[in-house]
A and B are shown apart, each in its own frame.
Chain A
């Protein structure tokens, strides 16, 4: 069971195309990086996520043109409570990168990425439905999986596994 230790030093990881591109575009937007178990994670500042994704999508050397997934993790009771996670794939270069945005517990809100990838639509609706994170600029932010009149956000950690009904 040999696991290499995680690398979190941004200087060492500048070789990765996504890190290089984002650091070159706006160093302030990158709050941290982590390379663990062969996967690159970049912590992006909340207000910069939409532009950062557009920059990564249009990068000429390694275009991360495919949005694989948007999801969320609830770290209740620690703050910042929510972490919205974006998984990007570069189809020409076969590279993956994970972008993370940390949000606080009261009124978690974020810019929607539907203007960058129309495919973000259902993923963001699901995160809104199950966690309560609002996406500004989403064309139709309604519940996706739960019934329309459901109260509460089931995947939050303070929602019981057995449910209320």
Chain B
């Protein structure tokens, strides 16, 4: 029998359509059908100036918007050859890790809810509410902040911001203990996730999986540590690895990453350097608002950047970052004008989704939901 797990389904986390050929309770074949959220972002980017693309990037992987901003900003800065001041780099690391925690909280809440543990969802969203208030304080927007710009970050954080982040960071590890107390040792959780939807390391590498999907099978690669960017080489953190490659190992990887991320945030708070938050490139970076209102040169630069953009030297760049889902890459091609010639987003989830048929074929129908949750799928990234 062919069963349609349609695009509208509470457990597919977005508009994912799965065609399941089942024989009793066993899944014989699985075919994902995607494209329901395709909005042509890559085409739209070719019609906009480089700085106008930044809000578009927020909306691609909408659970970790600042990570998208970071990847695009790093790619364009590489094309331009811009040097970013240390304070901007450390702010980027701090907000990136808060975004990672944000994304993992959504993953944990929805994954647990799919499997049946409904309480965890509200606990995770309680912490997420605190982080969204922090994002609102720093940029004015809860989710699609566009806080990272080409050349640094948008604004200096408000005066009480670091105290609020520190209060959150002090409180958070005990909350992770709460989530683990509910799930990790829970016999029902272990029976539903141990040995379920396994994938071996060779299969995961061949299929292009990355992030916790790959690390859960024991492959030790994390782009923050191995190919560092935006100052990650100054931070000490561990990279959790799994062994079996089942749902439980991927769950443990991500929960441990929650703890590592909050440790990085605390290191960033302790060592935050002082200085400017934008690069010294008046033709690329918007001037301070107050300067723009009083100085003539700043006003002219502002006008030029907003209406004409800035020309980027010819070339191409592939910049990859470690998003909560894996390797997110931006391939930006410039032809020397003020609009990008081609922007391609390498979505971590598109490759991770290729592991789904391998994980689910020959196994039970009920495990499909656990498998989808364990690869942390976000359709915005897949469909763009």
A: residues with CB less than 8 A from B are 1-3, 6, 36-39, 41, 65-69, 71, 73-74, 85, 87, 89, 91, 94, 96, 98, 117-123, 126, 130, 143-147, 154-155, 159, 161, 163
Contact = CB atoms under 8 A, between A and B. Distances in A.
Nearest to B341: A73
A6 to B, nearest CB: 7
22 contacts: A1-B81, A3-B81, A36-B315, A39-B318, A67-B208, A68-B320, A69-B318, A71-B344, A73-B341, A87-B331, A91-B221, A94-B221, A117-B208, A118-B354, A119-B354, A122-B351, A122-B353, A144-B34, A145-B383, A154-B40, A155-B43, A161-B46
Contacts of B206: 117-119
A38 B318 CA distance: 10
Interface in B324-366: 327, 329, 331, 333, 341-342, 344, 346, 350-351, 353-354
Interface residues of B, number: 44
A147 B341 CA distance: 25
Nearest to A6: B315
Interface of B: 34-35, 38, 40, 42-44, 46-47, 78-82, 205-209, 219, 221, 226-227, 281, 313, 315-318, 320, 327, 329, 331, 333, 341-342, 344, 346, 350-351, 353-354, 383-384
A1 B79 CA distance: 10
Contacts of A69: 318, 329, 331, 344, 346
Given A71-B346, A122-B350, 9 more contacts: A2-B81, A38-B78, A67-B208, A117-B207, A123-B208, A126-B350, A130-B42, A146-B35, A159-B43
Nearest to A130: B42
A39 B207 contact: no
A66 B205 CA distance: 6
Q: Which of A69, A89, A145 counts the most chain B CB atoms within 10 A?
A: A69
Contact of B329 (A68, A94, A159): A68
Nearest to B35: A145
Contact of A145 (B38, B79, B209, B221): B38
Given A121-B354, A144-B34, A145-B34, A3 B313 contact: yes
A160 to B, nearest CB: 9
B143 to A, nearest CB: 24
B355 to A, nearest CB: 9
